[in-house]
Each structure stands twice: as C-alpha cells, then as structure tokens.
Structure 1
Amino acid sequence: MPGQALSSLTRSTTLRERALDALRTAIITGQYRPGDHLGEVEIAEHLSVSRGTVREALRHLQQEGLVTPGARGMLRVSRLTPTEVRELFQVREALEGLALAQIIASPRRQEAADALRQALAQLQDAFSTGADLAAKVEADLGFHLLLCELSGNSVLLKTWRQLEGPMRVVIMSAAAEHRESAMSPTAHEPITDAIARGDAAAAQQILHAHMTSAIAQLGMAADTDRDTA
C-alpha cells in the first residue's frame, strides 16, 4: 500500500513538472504572447493532463512572474507597462551593481573575470552563429546570472532570480531590433574588462549605461505592445 501511494505521488509530480516545463517554455519562447489568456481546459487537453495539474502549474508560473490574473480572475501571460520595465531594470541595476562591487573587492576578482569571459564567449557565439532567440536570451541572462553568482551573496542571487520571469517576458515580447540591441555582446564586454582591471567606478558606469539602454529599448517595446493590444 505505501508503495502504491508513493508511485501515485511520483506520477502526479511528473505530470505537474511536465506541464510546468511545457508552459514555461511556451511563454519564454514567445509561443504565448504577453496578454494571451491561458485557458485551463485548452491547455489540459493539449498536454493530456488534468485541469488540476494545469492549475498547479499556472499557480507556480504566477509565483515566477510569468503569469498574472486578468479580468474575472482569468490568468494571462504577464504584460509589463513601460513604467514596470523601467522599475524592473532599475532593481536589476541595483542588484548587479552590488554584485560588481563585491566581485571587484574579492581576492578572486581575476578568476571571476575569467569566468565572465567564458560566459561572454557563449553570448558572442550565439550571435555570430545566428542562434535562435531562446538561445540568445539564455546566453544573455546567463552572463548576468553568473555575475550575481560570483558575488557570493546568496540573498542577492535569490532576489535576482525572482526577477528572471518578468525579464524573459520583456525581452521575448520586444521587437527584434530592440532586443538584439539590449542583448548585444558589445554591451557586456566592457563590464568584464572593468572587473579585470579592478575599476569599480567604470564598472558601475558601464552597467548603468547598459541598463539605461535596455530600459529605452525594451520600455519602448512594451509601450508599443500595449498600444497594439
């Protein structure tokens, strides 16, 4: 009897994780656009799972910031306003600025710079080989995630990861020219160089310019998306 219960629990968990992974992938790859309604019945039929399983997955995605309640409680893919985009990237700048300061003050600064150069190489490769958008987003956010990890500050890292869902939605929903500019490897290389030099002031200035540019590019896209919705 305990074995049967455990087996049932495992199947339930697997189905929930499968639904969660499928829905998350559909959102972050742009299959679902910001503002799209996420109907439990349609999703359950498509994934061949129960509505309860879909409901649990959607609840988890709501915690990640990928899904928000709309009119009459219907869940939709999150859509950020230009103001929300600006605030999102201002918080990112504060977190990553702290990460920069802690990395530069660390005796392992050069090791951190080397690790970031490897992440930068992956981003450059994604652009030079014409990788798909999902791969470029992964490489871009991977660079910034590594920056936070290298700070050694677990609270900083956890807080940054809570912003990751909305960041993905903003980037994926932007027009190609806006997001390409925001993710460009040339915007990231100076950050790594400043860390390698131990130049904290320059690193902060470069990060500020990078985030300000992202706000201009992606906030504009959010405004356009809202007007055409």
Structure 2
Amino acid sequence: MTAPPASLLGGLARSNLREQALTALRRAITTGELAPGTHLVETELSDKLQISRGTLREAMRQLQQEGLISAGARGRLAVRHLGASDVRDIFQVRAALEGLAARMLSEQDNRDAVVQKLEDAIQRMEDSSGGDLDERIEADLDFHQALCFLTGNPTLLHSWKSLEGSIRMSVMYAGVERALSNMSPHRHAGIVEAIKTGDSAGATRAVEEHMLDTAQFLTGS
C-alpha cells in the first residue's frame, strides 16, 4: 500500500501564497492527512503554512466552494464528511456529465486527435502506477477531465470542475488501498475504444458502468 506523503502542510514560498495554500490544503484533505470532521483552526494552519490568516481565509473560502470543507455550528469550518449516499450521488452526476462527453466525442467526424489525447492520458496513468498517491490521483482525474475538455463545451467542463473537490473526496472515501486499486488504466480503455469506433451508445454505457462499478466498489454496496 502506498502511504500518503509525510506532510503536505509545511511552510510555503512567498510567491503566489494563496494558490500554494489551496494546493497544500486540498491535497492534505484528499489524502486524509486532514481527516473528515477535522476542525480547521486558523491560528494552527496559518502557522503550519507560514501564511497570514487573511491569505488562509481566502484559500478556505475557495475550498468551501469546492465542497471540501463545510461550516458547522457557530460557523466553525471543518473537513467535509461524505456518507455512502453522498458518494453514490457524486458518481451518478459524474456518469451524466462524462457520459454526455463520451457521446459527444464519439459523434465527432474526426476523432483521431481526441482519441490520441485520451490514449496519452491512459499512458500517463500507466507511467504513474509506481508513483506516489498524489501523482496517481492526478493522472486518474486528468483522464476524466480530458473527456469533458475535449468536447470543446465550456459549460460541460465548468460543471465537471465545480464538482472536482467532491470528486477528490469521493475517490478517497474508502481509504488509500481501495482508491489505488480503482485507478487501473485498463478500466478506462473501454471508454476510449468506444469513442474511437464511433459507438456513441457504447461510449455512454461504458462511462455509466465505470461510474456505477466505482461507486459500488468504494461504498461496498
């Protein structure tokens, strides 16, 4: 089993602090260093990240919008806790969005460039298979984001990206071992093959089955 990095909350360089804080906090949450339900104390986090509390608040507002943290009693912020029903809901919406993307791509007249980019994304998953958790998560998500990006439909891409925080949390719902075993490149190849052959119904079905299988695997139901 690949362990998460020792710590993602070390001090940051002074350039672009808000973005660096966002990245560090986002990865700490999705890898479980900051576990679901953890209360986020501004003084502690600003000291760990070596940033001002104002910069930290900006980053945390963005994380709220992404669905990674939520406000509880008296407005206290904590890492969001997902239940099994939340995970199933997220994958159901992903199936609708990415299934639409796969159908659109399979109906394009000239699909060669699209297929090549998706095959390159699968190769990156292969290349990262021996890497750390963060690298493998990014390679997996890059493939799914590419499905939406390659449609050329900005509304579809925006809709997917608005769920990205929740997607990251759902991937890690069942822990590191299950998350990693779910990221095998061959599970994505059927989607690309259907797009390549222009089988729009098959491409949509491949995405829907992929999402259903993943949700069931992660939630054990």
TM bracket (short chain): 0.7 to 0.9
Q: Which is further off, 166-175 or 192-201?
A: 166-175
Aligned to 2:213: 213
Aligned to 1:4: none
Aligned to 2:10: none
The alignment's C-alpha RMSD in Å is 2.0
Aligned to 1:41: 43
- Normalised to the residue count of structure 2, the TM-score between the two structures is 0.87
Instruction: Provide the rounded CA distance (Å) in 1 between the counterparts of 2:217 and 2:78.
Output: 24
Aligned to 1:7: none
Structure 1: which 5+ runs fail to align? 1-11, 224-229
Aligned to 1:122: 124
- Which of the pair is proportionally richer in helix? 1
Aligned to 1:183: 183
Amino acid at match of 2:210: H
- Superposition pairs of residues 47-126 of structure 1, within 5 angstroms: 47-126=49-128
Query: Is contact 2:103–2:195 with CA below 8 Å preserved after alignment?
Result: no
Helix, strand or coil at the partner of 2:128: helix
Helix, strand or coil at the partner of 1:183: coil
Aligned to 2:195: 195
Instruction: Provide the rounded CA distance (Å) in 2 between the counterparts of 1:199 and 1:14.
Output: 45
Query: Is contact 2:118–2:192 with CA below 8 Å preserved after alignment?
Result: yes
* Identity across matched positions, percent: 46
Instruction: Provide the rounded CA distance (Å) in 2 between the counterparts of 1:200 and 1:110.
Output: 15
Instruction: Provide the rounded CA distance (Å) in 1 between the counterparts of 2:19 and 2:125.
Output: 29
Query: Is contact 2:90–2:170 with CA below 8 Å preserved after alignment?
Result: no
Larger Rg: 1
- Normalised to the residue count of structure 1, the TM-score between the two structures is 0.84
Query: Is contact 1:179–1:217 with CA below 8 Å preserved after alignment?
Result: no
Query: Is contact 1:182–1:213 with CA below 8 Å preserved after alignment?
Result: no
- Superposition pairs of residues 131-210 of structure 1, within 5 angstroms: 131-210=131-210
Query: Is contact 1:93–1:211 with CA below 8 Å preserved after alignment?
Result: yes
Helix, strand or coil at the partner of 1:151: coil
Instruction: Provide the rounded CA distance (Å) in 2 between the counterparts of 1:164 and 1:114.
Output: 24
Instruction: Provide the rounded CA distance (Å) in 1 between the counterparts of 2:181 and 2:202.
Output: 21
Query: Is contact 1:181–1:217 with CA below 8 Å preserved after alignment?
Result: no
- The Cα shift of 1:13 comes to 8.5
Query: Is contact 1:89–1:211 with CA below 8 Å preserved after alignment?
Result: yes
Instruction: Provide the rounded CA distance (Å) in 2 between the counterparts of 1:47 and 1:115.
Output: 36
- The Cα shift of 1:36 comes to 1.3
Amino acid at match of 2:144: H
Query: Is contact 2:21–2:59 with CA below 8 Å preserved after alignment?
Result: yes
Instruction: Provide the rounded CA distance (Å) in 1 between the counterparts of 2:81 and 2:56.
Output: 21
1:25 corresponds, among 24, 27, 34, to 27
